[in-house]
Structure 1
Amino acid sequence: MKILQRYFAVSIFQAVAFVLAAFLGLLAFMDLTGELPTVGKNGYGLQHAALYVLAMIPQHVYEVMPVASLIGTIYTMAQFASTSEFTIMRASSMSTRMAAGMLFKIGIVLVVITFIFGELIAPRAAPWAEKIRLTGRGTTVSAEFRSGLWTKDIIKSQGTKGEVLGTRFFNTREVRPDGELRDVKLYEFDNSFRLRSLIVAKSGVFQGNNVWRLNDVTESIFTNPALLASGGQATAQNNFAQETSAVEIKHYDSKDLISEITPKILSVASS
């Protein structure tokens, strides 16, 4: 029986590993294809995409292991039947209960492997993968401040596309379990790192498609008259004259904000 048990286990594990490798290769290819459109933008290189794909493998192992185990086991048993090996085993006094017991033991091992990837490895690898993606794209996240959660975003002319207009620092004091943000502050700087806007909102709710709905909003817009008069060209006298800028304050019941920061990114940062 020990020889049969070992033979069953080796044959099934080999088949499962082959199917699992095929699935992982396909999923890795799909992940890499999804990252390629952003490669070369904002410092996001091919090495960042490759690291992201590698870091997502444990999560994919957890996702496809049950299917790979089923396919690998069925394939192995079909091979035993097609070569009459299973018939010979039955003729050698192996009962159906004994065969089921051997398959059960193999299944327990596969369950343990799936548990290790799903509960121990993937929860640590997935946040690392997201941080690699954010860091490579010029977006950083930090939750280690008393003032709450901080993120760095890129301001573009067409929301998430187009010309880079500046940098946005996104701060929220609390991220609730339902994804709602409380006490939101947005500091927007131009490409010369001059503060151009300060947005304070009581709360924020994600609407999908990279849109946040901010509620009870106060927006302070800083403009430099000297820069406007010179067509946006800074001079030696006004290059750092932020304190002489005009301030325009606006109030909104609600305001939509387009940002690459999503609830998934914030949940990764706060984990």
Structure 2
Amino acid sequence: MSYRNAFSRVLSDVIAPRAERTGREGSFPRGAVTALGEAGLLGLTVSADLGGGGRGPAEAAEVVARIAGSCPVTAAVLQSHYAAVAVIEACGSAWVRGEIAAGRHLSSLALADGAYGAAGATATRSGEVVALSARKREVVAAGEADSYVWSSSPLAAADGLTLWLVPAHAPDLFVPARPDGAGPHGSATSTVVADPVLVPADAMLGEDGAGHEVVRRTVLPWLLALRDAVGAAAVHPSVAAAESAPSARAGAAQLSAVAPAATALR
């Protein structure tokens, strides 16, 4: 069965019938996410060599746009997932990519730090363990995803940004009991706090200090492609927050909610 046929079945049988209730009750669309995983849609953009669909942003945007017409909540979750997977595909391990391809892993972006102008996320290494401290805002699927693509200051580089894959179940990672983000009701868009969270040093995505380039070359193009496909009604909160912020008026503004990256993109 082609991914389009599988997707159409999930959309008509699972997502659309539950959309009104999901929005009304503000419940996370776990059933939709599970069905998308089983149909191969969570792994749509993972390499075919690892069992994924091997598709790109155009196909992902098509899927998100069609979902947005029925359930903006599920569309917002999938937007963040596909953008996060783009980073994982470029920099992550074969194991986690295989888990995504198998439909067992939902990821999300955790790139925006605290309030505007607040201190950014930090990273401190001790042996093979890194302590990440941060207050991340506007995280879609907070407490529901399996991992977060996370940004911090570099470990050793003089400047820049470093990206990490942080397991959502890691100890000392906290999500408020009630979502406090700007995403669609039910998308579990909220703050995620690391106080700190400990991750292995090999959880780094790419090179230390090279996260700006990953944001510019990977995250931003994916978010913009997905945003353009669905329109303003289902825009990713990282983009929406940026567009209302003062820093949004300089260079690649749509992702300037990620303050350090926005500076580099000006």
- TM-score w.r.t. the length of structure 2 is 0.25
Structure with the larger RCO, 1 or 2 (CA within 8 Å, 6+ apart) = 2
- Higher alpha-carbon Rg: 1
- TM-score w.r.t. the length of structure 1 is 0.24
Q: Which one has a larger percent strand, Structure 1 or Structure 2? A: 1
